[in-house]
Chain A
């Protein structure tokens, strides 16, 4: 484990924490948003907030793919799946996301043919094996998964596969960040940029945040030291009154992203005028749909989709959690009516969701804080 230690060394963590503390201006409060749910997970798991001075608050962002799928789209997918000629396919993460009439797992238990797949290419294979059925892939995720859907559509097109289509729910991270920046609810000082999304889109799309909103952005890796190092880089920029995009995770993220992936997305998909995000409402140009040239692989162009809008359950405050306005434990149903076993809101479903991460690890943090204050 020689390799891993270099990312986890406790002495290095304390040294970084001390450097971060020295950069805090007396009396100033700092709010830094980690956009990606993977970062949220690391922060809670390793109790990184305990390393930071009280002046710094980490705010959890909307970067959890299943968390932002609105109930209406789950219901639409169920409507498509209810046709006995259809085999609906979906990632495992999606299976437990509640719609207004239960989740995919519930529908499967009622006899609907919904199958879990690892990759859209597995869905393609199911289509080849079942020529008498229409196979639909429930495509979800940010720019990390959109290239896979795009490549699969190109493959289906090359093969001339007549019974495969995509129910496209891909969303793009930049408009969500912009919506949060424009929201009056929250004043943020800087952003930890998502690691794996940036392997696709690169670092340039974040430049507007630095240029137009004068907030620093540091694209960050997933190890505890990556995150502390990135917070240090943000604090250094703030102390020097700079707002730039920096790449802490350059060992994985190229500045220009993955051009092949971007080309595949651009070839097969285009931006929707608007799309509903769970908890955040409608956001302009924030999601992708299949281009008309590939209509034969687009479930929305092939079949009638009800296009239902369903309000989130009243008790659920995922919207506030996704925007970073509320901490998970401030939600009224957190840990009582809403748990990973019986989620009401999407933030409790995925391990990348802030509520699930906090439910699993956050209480450890609180215990540590309590112990520290009594000794």
Chain B
């Protein structure tokens, strides 16, 4: 929860530009990108996500490292992904 999870931006929702569809370890869900309103976010970029909100943009190398770290945590990351899979932000 306190640790960010990296997600790749798939698309910005046309009707709600503060929401984006992201891919986190194969789980595709909608998150809020309102906290990045001072920056441009485009598909293909990576963001660090905390409880449904993107807090910062990161590069691909950082995303890969963060992902490896989280996968190493094991159960806690699986729980986080399972929770994300249940999420229906709109």
**Chain B hits for A350, CB < 8 A:** 76
A351 contacts B73, C-beta separation under 8 Å: yes
| Residues of the A chain whose Cβ atoms lie less than 8 Å from the Cβ of B36 | 260
A141-B2, A196-B48, A253-B56 given; 11 more Cβ-contact pairs under 8 Å: A38-B3, A41-B73, A116-B83, A118-B83, A118-B86, A119-B32, A142-B2, A196-B2, A222-B66, A252-B48, A352-B2
In contact, A196 and B55 (Cβ under 8 angstroms): yes
Question: What are 13 A-B contacts with C-beta separation under 8 Å?
Answer: A3-B64, A65-B2, A66-B1, A118-B84, A118-B87, A120-B52, A147-B55, A148-B50, A148-B53, A222-B66, A260-B34, A261-B55, A352-B3
Whether B26 is near chain A, meaning CB under 8 Å from some CB there, is no
Contacts of B1 on A, CB cut-off 8 Å?
A: 65-66, 91-93, 141, 144-145
Among B2, B66, B69, chain A packs the most CB atoms within 10 A around the CB of: B2
A223 partner, pick from B58, B59, B65, B84, beta carbons under 8 A: B65
User: Are B53 and A119 closer than 8 Å at their CB atoms?
Assistant: yes
In angstroms, Cα B47 to Cα A50, docked, is: 33
Listed in ascending order, the chain A residues whose CB lies under 8 Å from chain B are 1, 3-4, 6-7, 36-38, 41-42, 45, 63-66, 91-93, 116-122, 125, 141-142, 144-145, 147-148, 151, 196-197, 199-200, 222-223, 251-254, 258-261, 264, 350-352
> Given known contacts A119-B51, A122-B89, is B58 in contact with A252 (CB within 8 Å)?
yes
Q: How large, as a class, is the contact surface on chain B?
A: 35 or more
Q: How far is the CA of A122 from the CA of B83 in the complex (A)?
A: 10
Scan residues 26-61 of chain B and give those whose CB is less than 8 A from a CB of chain A: 31-32, 34-38, 48, 50-53, 55-56, 58-61
User: Do B65 and A260 touch (CB < 8 A)?
Assistant: no
A352 to chain B, nearest CB (A): 6
Q: Which residues of A contact B59 (CB under 8 A)?
A: 251
Cβ–Cβ < 8 Å partners of A92 in chain B = 1, 79-80, 83
By the criterion CB–CB under 8 Å, are B53 and A4 in contact?
no
A1 vs B37: C-alpha distance in the bound complex, in angstroms? 32
Chain A residues within an 8 Å CB radius of B83: 91-92, 116-118
Q: Which residue of A lies closest to B58 (CB)?
A: A252
- Once the chains are docked, how many angstroms separate the CA of A264 from the CA of B18? 15
Q: With A4-B68, A222-B66, A223-B65 as given contacts, are A121 and B2 in contact (CB-CB < 8 Å)?
A: no
Residues of B within 8 A of A116 (CB): 83, 86
- A351 partner, pick from B38, B60, B76, B86, beta carbons under 8 A: B76
A37 and B4 alpha carbons, distance in the complex (Å) = 13
Contacts of A148 in B (CB 8 A): 32, 50-53
The 4 closest A-B pairs by CB, nearest first: A119-B52, A3-B64, A351-B76, A118-B87
Q: Which residues of A contact B38 (CB under 8 A)?
A: 259-260
- A38-B65 in contact (CB<8A): no
Q: How far is the CA of A254 from the CA of B68 in the complex (A)?
A: 23
Q: How many angstroms between the C-alpha atoms of A196 and B49 in the bound complex? A: 10
The docked-state distance in angstroms from the alpha carbon of A38 to that of B66 is 11
**Chain A residues whose C-beta falls within 8 Å of the C-beta of B76 in the assembled complex:** 350-351
CB-CB contacts below 8 Å: B72-90 with A? 72-73, 75-76, 79-80, 83-84, 86-90
Q: How far is the CB of B7 from chain A (nearest CB, A)?
A: 13
Are B3 and A122 in contact (CB-based, < 8 A)? no
B75 proximity list for chain A (CB < 8 A)? 351
A197 to B83, CA, bound (A): 22
> How far does the Cβ of A105 sit from chain B's closest Cβ, in whole Å?
13
User: Which of chain A's residues have a CB closer than 8 A to the CB of B37?
Assistant: 260
CA distance A92 to B53 in the complex (A): 17
Chain B residues with CB under 8 Å of A63's CB are: 2
C-alpha gap A254/B36 in the complex (Å)? 13
Q: How far is the CB of A329 from chain B (nearest CB, A)?
A: 21
Residue of B nearest to A261 (CB): B35
A199 and B50 alpha carbons, distance in the complex (Å): 11
Of residues B3, B32, B36, which shows the largest number of chain A Cβ atoms within 10 Å of its Cβ? Answer: B3
Q: How far is the CB of B66 from chain A (nearest CB, A)?
A: 7
Residues on B with beta carbons closer than 8 Å to the beta carbon of A7: 65
CB atoms of A196 and B4 under 8 A apart: yes
Which residues from B are CB-within-8-Å of A120? 51-52
Q: Is A145's CB under 8 angstroms from B51's CB?
A: yes
